[in-house]
Amino acid sequence: MVATDIDTSLLEARGHPRIEVVRHDVLLDEFPAATFDLIHCRAVLVHLDDPARALERMAGWLKPGGVLVAEEPWIDVARLAPDPVVREAAEALARSLDTGFARRLPAALSDAGLVEVRADSDLRFFAGGSKQTDFFRQVLAGACAELVASGSLEASEARRMQDRFDDPGFCDCGWPRIGAIGWKPGAGSRAAPRPT
């Protein structure tokens, strides 16, 4: 099994003898064609300048009949939040990320040459102070740090948003993660012609 990232420090810290950790940029670095039976990426494509090219490259690294699973956060949902602080942060994120890419993920897999593409999503609500808040707090802390550093978001607004997560009266949905799956055509694949 191979795990890749541009920054491998967290992967290396969680080391496992059966996992090879590789520093790898999906847009620049190579793998041999037809290397993998399965490729899974999560919350990667939304950060890239050219996610379509990344998917094409990943599809090329699949063996015939191999499967690609991609999961991306649909951040646009936060732009509709009733809370103005959440809306402002989502608008700031939209200036640096393609916050609507997840909605286009199934089409992007098809465009990359994969077949029998399917997708789904799950929208969940959470209350301030709940266990689910910890995940969103970590995600938001990283996003807010970048936005504050770039001047896209005031530090006071970032603190106000973090404070919401401690308020038991706060309730909102997280960013739904859209998951899509597609198969590379080829002998033995789900997409191969079935005998008559």
Residues 6+ apart with CB under 8 A from 47: 97
For the chain, the domain total comes to 1
With respect to residue 119, please indicate whether it lies within any of the assigned structural domains: yes
The answer to whether residue 6 scores a pLDDT higher than 80 is yes
Report field, pTM of the whole predicted structure over 0.75: yes
Residue type, 72: E
HSE (side-chain half, CA atoms, 13 Å) at 162: 15
What was the pLDDT predicted at 93? 79
Query: What is the mean predicted confidence (pLDDT) over 56-64?
Result: 98
What was the pLDDT predicted at 162? 80
With respect to residue 157, please indicate whether it lies within any of the assigned structural domains: yes
**Alpha-carbon separation of residue 27 from 44, 52, 54, 90 (angstroms):** 11, 10, 6, 26
Query: What's the pLDDT tens digit per position in 170-182?
Result: 888 888 999 999 9
What was the pLDDT predicted at 190? 56
Q: What is the DSSP letter of 152?
A: S
CB 112 within 8 A of CB 58: yes
What was the pLDDT predicted at 108? 98
Query: What's the pLDDT tens digit per position in 120-167?
Result: 998 888 888 888 887 777 777 777 777 788 887 788 887 887 888 888
With respect to residue 191, please indicate whether it lies within any of the assigned structural domains: no
The answer to whether residue 184 scores a pLDDT higher than 60 is yes
Residue 40's CATH number? 3.40.50.150
Domain with 105, as residue range(s), is: 31-183
With respect to residue 23, please indicate whether it lies within any of the assigned structural domains: no
Cα–Cα distance for residue pair 89/33, rounded to 1 Å: 40
With respect to residue 84, please indicate whether it lies within any of the assigned structural domains: yes
